[in-house]
Amino acid sequence: MIKISKYNEANIWSCSSIGLEVRNHPLTLLLSQSLPGQTDPGIARLRTNAYGEGPGAPWRGEVFKTGATVTGALPSLNSPAAQHQRLQKFNPLRTDSPEEPLCASGASLSNQNPRFSSNQNLRYKRSGSSEMGCAKVFLVMFVIGFEKGICVNWNPIPRKTVKYNDVHDSMARFRAVGVWNYTMLTLAEHERVLYVGAREHIFALDPNDISRQLRPQIEWSAPAEKKRECSAKGKNNQTECFNYIRFLQSYNHTLLYTCGTYAFQPKCTYINADHFTLDSAALEDGKGKCPYDPAKGHTGLIVDKELYSATLNNFLGTEPVILRNLGQQHYSMKSEYLPAWLNEPNFVGSALVRESRSSKDGDDDKIYFFFSERAVELDCDSDLTVARVARVCKGDLGGTRTLQKKWTTFQKARLMCSFPERHITFNNLRAVFTLPGADWRSTSFYGIFHAQWGDVDVSAVCQYQIGEVKNVFDGPYKEYRESSQRWGRYTGTVPSPRPGACITNFDRENGYNSSLQLPDATLNFAKKHPLMEDRAEARPLLLTKGINFTRLAVDRVSSLDQRPYNMLFIGTADGWLQRVVILGSEAHVIEEIQLFDRQQPVDSLTISHSKKYLYIGSRSEVLQLPLANCSRYHSQPDCLLSRDPYCAWDSEGRACVRIDLHRGSTSTLSQDLMLERFSRGKAKFDKPFSIPSPDHSRLRNVTVVVGSDLVLPCHLVSNLAQPFWELNERELALVEGEAPGPRFDRASVPSSSPKPGPFKRAATSATRRSKA
C-alpha cells in the first residue's frame, strides 16, 4: 500500500504539509519478457479510484496481477524525451500534441522556478546479460498528488506553469502595424473604453474585446524638424527621437488630457473623447508635465481638473520636480530644487487619498508620490539608493514670502521593505499600486522592490497601510546638522502650526485659513526639514530570486464565505504573469502564465473590476486576459487545491467554475482557500474522479532492446507535486553515479536496472503552510 504521511521541509522557515491532492492517473510499468534465467516479475499493485480522506490517509483501490488486462494510456511516439535516449535505439514516449501526455505539468523538486527545471523522468536500462533479447512494455499511468509546501514568502513555486501555446488562443490582443510601445493604458469612466497610448499613436479599444477599435486611431507624431533637432543634440533617431505618449487620463466627461515626449520637447494637449480627435495645432508646453526622455521615470494624475505630476524638468534630466498646474482653483505649484527635497529620483507612481472625507479635524485630501532616490541622510554610502513616499496637500497654495508658489506641505519618508532579522533590505522601488478600501482609512499601497545579489535578480512585494504612512508623517523630523555635517533626529521645538501639515479646523480657529497665512517660522522649518525621522516599514509578502518583477495590479475578491482576499497580478521582465493570492500572512502563487512567444517586459497592468479583465501593455502589443480561468482545473482536488478565490467546485455540474459567472445555487459550490478541510482531515471528494488523459494518448506495446534506455516521463498537474517511483513495492531512491538498479533521475541522467519488474509511478504533493 502507498501511505503518505506528514513531513517537514526546511528552507528559510520550517514548513509542514497540510493537504492532500489525489490524481487518478494510473502509472504502472509491467515488464514481461523471455530471457534466460528470468521468472515472472511478480505482482504489480495498481490502485484505482483513490480518494483522500486527509493527510496520512490510506489509499483504496484494486490489485492487478502481472499479465492481467490493464487499460490506460501511453503517449504517442513524438516526445522530446527521445532526445535523452542514451543509445538512441527508439523512444516509446513521443507526442505530436503540445499537451503533455498522461500526467500534467512537471514537478519542481528544488526551489528554483519550475519553468527552468527539467522534467522528472524514470529511465529503465536493461542490462546484465550478454544475450540480446527483447521485452514488451505495457504502460499505465497512476499519479497521486500530495503537494509539498515551501514557506510561502521565500521564493515560492507557482503551483501551475501555463506556457504560451496553452494560453494564446484564450487571449484577446491588439497591435497595429508599425506601432510600438503600448505602455499607457487608461480605462474611461464606467469602463466603456480602453484608451491606449503608444509611440506616436493613441487608440480607443473595446474593453470587452480589445482586438476591436471603437474609433479610428489618432496619429500624433513629432514633426520631422523636431526629430532632426533631437538627433542633432545627440539623441538616437532610431529609438529616442519620437513622440512617446507618457500621460493619458480623463480630464472630464468629454475630454482626455495627454502628454508626449515629442522628440525631447514635451508637449501636451486635449482629446475630444466623443469624436476621438486631437488638435495638433493647439499644443501646450509639456515641461514639468512629461519627461523629455522616454526612458525616464514619470508619474501623474488629474485631481479635480488639476494635473499633479512628478518628472524631470529639463533636457539633461537633472532637475526633478513635483508640479501642479492646469486648474483654475489653485495656483501652479512646484517643489524646491534642493537635494534635501529630491535627489536624483526615479518616480514610479502617485495616488490620491481623500482624507478630507469624514474627517473630524477638517483635514485635506493628499497626493502621495512614490520614487527611489539617492539617499542624502546615510553616512555609510552616499550613493545608496532608497525608496521614498512623499506627500503634498491638495489645498496647498504656497507661502507669501517664503516658499512662494512652492509646496509648503511637501514631506517625504523612507519606505522600508526588509527582513530585519536577516539584515536584508530592498531599496529600489520599481512599481506601486494603490488599493482603495471601503473608506480612505483602509487604503493600501503595494510596492515592487528590486535588489541584485551578485548577478541574481531578487524581487519582493511589500504592502503598506495608509494609517502606518500617516503616522510616519505625524512623527519626528530629521535635520542636517552643519556642525557635524550629519543628518540626525530633530530634538528642538517644533513651530506651530506644524510644518508640512495640511490646514485643519484647529489652524482655522487660530486664524490660519490657508498656507498663505502661515508664519515664516513654520515655512522656513518646512523648507529645511522635508525628511521624516521614522520610516514606513513592512516585511515582504512575496520574495522571488531569479525573476525581475516590473508591474503589479491588485484586485479584492470575495470568496464563497464572503471573506475578502487580495489578488496580486505581477508582470515580469521576461514576459510572464504571476497570479498570487494573499492568504493571511501567506502569498500563494496560483500560477504563472507565459504571455508572449518572445521575451519582453510587462510594461503596464490595468484591471477592469466590472468586466473582470486584466489588460497588459508591452512593447509589441496589448493583451486582454480574464482575471481567472477556472476551466484550467479539471478535477475537484485540482480546483480546491488551486486556492483560487475566483473559482469554486460545482458538485452538480462537476466542474470548476467562476463564482461571479455561476448562475445556479451557491449551495453546490465549494472552496477551501485556507485548506481547513485538509488540515482537519475532512477532505472528501466526489466519486469517482480522475484527470483525463489527452485524447491522443493510448495504450501501446513497445519492444525494448536489452541494454537500451527507456525514458518514462511524467508531467505533473501541479509544480508543487513531488513525484516518486516504486518497483516491487519499494520506492526508488535517488542513486548517484552508475550504480545498478532502476533509478528515479531528476536530472535526466540514464538509470539502469539489472532485471525487469513492475514499476509504479506516483506523485506526492502537499499544499504547504509555514510554521510560525
- E-only strand ranges, 443-507: 444-453, 456-465, 478-481, 486-489
Domain spans of the chain, in order of start:
1-170+640-772
Instruction: Look at residue 171 in the predicted model and tell me its pLDDT.
Output: 94
CA–CA gap between residue 198 and residue 434 (Å, rounded): 24
Residue 347, phi then psi, degrees to nearest 5: -80, 135
Q: What is the residue whose three cell numbers read 506556457?
A: 163
Instruction: Look at residue 676 in the predicted model and tell me its pLDDT.
Output: 80
Torsion sign (Cα): 11, 17, 23, 27: positive
Element (H or E) spanning 649, and its range? strand 647-650
Instruction: Look at residue 724 in the predicted model and tell me its pLDDT.
Output: 65
Instruction: Look at residue 279 in the predicted model and tell me its pLDDT.
Output: 84
Distances (CA, A) of 762 to 1, 144, 531, 715, 732: 12, 5, 59, 11, 11
CA–CA gap between residue 421 and residue 134 (Å, rounded): 61
CA–CA gap between residue 402 and residue 408 (Å, rounded): 9
Residue 48, phi then psi, degrees to nearest 5: -125, 165
Beta-carbon neighbour count of residue 274 at 10 Å? 10
| pLDDT tens readout for residues 31-52 | 323 233 333 332 222 222 222 2
User: 3-state SS string over 397-415?
Assistant: CCCCCCCCCECCCCEEEEE
Those residues whose C-beta lies under 8 Å from the C-beta of residue 90, and which sit 6 or more positions away, are: 77, 702, 705, 708
| pLDDT tens readout for residues 465-514 | 999 999 999 999 999 998 888 999 999 999 999 999 999 999 999 999 99
Contact 2, 26 (CB under 8 A): no
pTM over 0.75: yes
Residue type at 409? Answer: T
Furthest C-alpha separation in the chain: 107
Q: What is the residue whose three cell numbers read 501593455?
A: 617
CA–CA gap between residue 760 and residue 772 (Å, rounded): 37
Instruction: Look at residue 286 in the predicted model and tell me its pLDDT.
Output: 96
Helix-strand-coil split of the chain, %, nearest 5: 10, 40, 50
Residue 511 burial (C-beta neighbours within 10 Å; 0-12, 13-18, 19+): exposed
Q: Which residues of the chain have pLDDT under 70?
A: 1-153, 380-383, 678-702, 710-715, 722-728, 732-772
Those residues whose C-beta lies under 8 Å from the C-beta of residue 453, and which sit 6 or more positions away, are: 545
Question: Collapsing DSSP states into helix, strand and coil, what is residue 497?
Answer: coil
Q: Which three cell numbers stand for residue 7?
A: 513531513
Instruction: Look at residue 454 in the predicted model and tell me its pLDDT.
Output: 82
Instruction: Look at residue 5 in the predicted model and tell me its pLDDT.
Output: 28
Contact 745, 121 (CB under 8 A): yes
Element (H or E) spanning 435, and its range? strand 428-435
Contact 532, 472 (CB under 8 A): yes
**Order of strands, edge to edge, in the sheet holding 14-17?**
8-10, 14-17, 768-770
